[in-house]
Structure 1
Amino acid sequence: MTRILALHSYRGGTGKSNLTANLASSLAMGGARVCIIDTDIASPGVHVLFGLEPEQLGMTLNDYLWARCGIEEAAIDVGRRLRGPEGQAALVGPGALFLVPGSMRAADIARIVREGYDIERMNAGFQALGEALELDWLVIDTHPGLNEATLLSIAIADVLFLLLRPDRQDYQGTAITLDVARRLEVPRLELLVNKVLSSVDFATVREGIEAGFAATVAAVLPLSEDLLRNGSETVLVAASPAHPVSLVISELARGL
């Protein structure tokens, strides 16, 4: 049975898409069959981390939502694109990794923003994708904020990770989202604190946020110059598995 993992943040800039790609990759490298679906279709970007250019995307989530294709026809096998430290294949064994990207065509993005889309069709696509690809995990990269599509992703998630930075604006937005998720009775709901300065005591950050939100903090991740330097060129857990950020993400994956 396919389990659904949603990663969400109230505001943009939290590193959500990067973490989505890395966590999904870590699950696949651990032997699971995984598909990422980029539902941030007003500003898609997960495909960049797998070295895909816009002209390489083919069918996209947009095409499925407009009934131009089946959802599985928009799934790209990105597992073979994962490369280890020496450029070797990072995904070996039974694991598999797919991506359903959003369209990068300006006209498609404009149409989505202008007209919206059928939420029920999106939901049906989630279910069909899990069956067609025999997935262990469907990983949803959501659109920041709260809208109808986001509420759907939260409502159907088996696991929801809410990302926030140690920032007052993030705190307020996360509090709202957390309240919504609790009302929707998400089975497993945890916080991920990202982009924390290395000079800060991580244990203190964790304790303060857990106390403030009355919620579990699954991980505290540092603000990494290596990630900034990487510029979304590679998936860190594959290219640099011993990196401190990779180790935290791998531990998260094992906990799932």
Structure 2
Amino acid sequence: MFKNPFARGNPSRIVSIHSFRGGTGKSNVTANLAATIARQGLRVGIIDTDIQSPGIHILFGLNEDKFKYTLNDYLWGRCPVEKAAYEVTSVLKQNGADAHRDSAIYLIPSSIKVGEISRILREGYNVGRLNEGLKQIVQRLKLDYLMIDTHPGLNEETLLSISISDVMVIIMRPDRQDFQGTAVTVDVARKLSVPKLLITVNKALPEFDFKALKQQVEDTYKTPVAGVLPLCEEMVRLASSDIFCLRYQDHPLTREVNGIATRITQ
């Protein structure tokens, strides 16, 4: 259906972070993975294509009054895509994290204005233009990784994101509804020939047997589980006000995120 514009001669990697249902913690996981990968001295871009319910910008301390342009402006032809990108590398230093001097993080947020969200819901947008924008932002910001925080479920934008991905990370909770929806997503990813498919289980209660849960998910989908992330009080208290892995660098959840980042970059 879609042709991957990044497939030939480009060392940059496209990583889609997806979930079939909302509420899985997808944006939080995306932000933490991006920061973890960037700390290695890599240039990482994040694009919030969850246009109907954007929010990942909050984790990076970006308020809407700081937005001159957003992804919506690019999609409607108001600006070049790089004008909607904001450098947020400073988050790596806020918590005393040990980041490489070449580390960089750029974020392209979506608009949170009611009128612009309503327009997307009413009129949609040109998915082909989004495809071109993804290609341009990788080239113009010289990114090593572009991470796409997708809209939950399956639509035309999601199918585009999946089809051009080098790596797809599916976020699911240990919940029966998530188990069913993840089966659909895995099937679509295989039909679109995603080179690397990984599952991350999020919000697992501490009393669960994580090893058994991981084995259950891998047996169910015949797909590697990159990590099982615990539901923890520290994450709840943080309330999306910071990047967890930078604030709690020695926490078990952070170590698990480090492992998932390694699986992505291998």
- Fold in common (TM above 0.5): yes
Tell me the secondary structure at the aligned position of residue 192 of structure 1.
strand
Equivalent pairs, count: 254
- Tell me, yes or no, if structure 1 residue 63 matches structure 2 residue 73: yes
Q: Distance in 2 between matches of 1:54 and 1:114?
A: 22
Q: CA deviation at 1:214?
A: 1.2
In the aligned structure 2, how far is the partner of 1:151 from the partner of 1:90?
36
Give the alignment's Cα RMSD to 1 decimal.
1.1
CA contact (8 A) 1:50 1:82 kept: no
The one-letter code sitting in structure 1 at the alignment partner of 2:71 is L
Partner of 1:139: 147
The reply to whether residue 36 of structure 1 matches residue 46 of structure 2 is yes
Q: Is the 8 A contact 2:42 2:104 kept in 1?
A: yes
Instruction: Map Cα deviations across residues 174-231 of structure 1 (whole Å, 9 max, x no partner).
Output: 0011101100000000110000010011000011111111111111110111101100
The corresponding residue for 1:54 is 64
Match for 2:19: what amino acid?
S
| Amino acid aligned to 1:118 | N
Other structure's SS at 1:82 match: helix
Answering whether residue 122 of structure 2 is matched by residue 111 of structure 1, we say no
Q: Which residue of 1 aligns with 2:27?
A: 17
The equivalent of 1:101 in structure 2 is 109
Which residue of the partner structure matches residue 181 of structure 2?
173
Answer whether contact 2:92 2:246 (CA < 8 A) is retained: yes
Runs of 4+ in 1 over 2 A off after TM superposition: 81-85, 88-92
> 169, 172, 184: which is aligned to 1:164?
172
Identity of aligned residues (%): 48
CA positional deviation for 1:83: 4.0
Shift of 1:57: 1.9
Report if the CA contact (8 A) 2:226-2:259 is conserved: no
Instruction: Report if the CA contact (8 A) 2:131-2:160 is conserved.
Output: yes
Q: 1:190 aligns with which of 185, 198, 223?
A: 198
Q: Secondary structure at the match of 1:7?
A: strand
Displacement of 1:247 = 1.2
TM-score by length of 2: 0.93
Q: Is the 8 A contact 1:22 1:249 kept in 2?
A: yes
Q: Deviations over 1:87-134 (max 9, x none)?
A: x46544111000000001111111011110000000000000000000
- Rounded to whole Å, the distance in 1 between the matches of 2:165 and 2:229 is 23
Secondary structure at the counterpart of residue 40 of structure 1: coil
Measured after TM superposition, the shift of residue 242 of structure 1 is 1.0
Task: Write the distance in 1 (CA, Å) between the matches of 2:207 and 2:116.
Answer: 43
Instruction: Give the alignment of 1:226-245 within 5 angstroms.
Output: 226-245=234-253
Distance 1:101 1:200, change over 3 A: same
- Cα displacement (A) at 1:82: 3.2
Inter-partner Cα distance in structure 2 for 1:89 and 1:167: 34
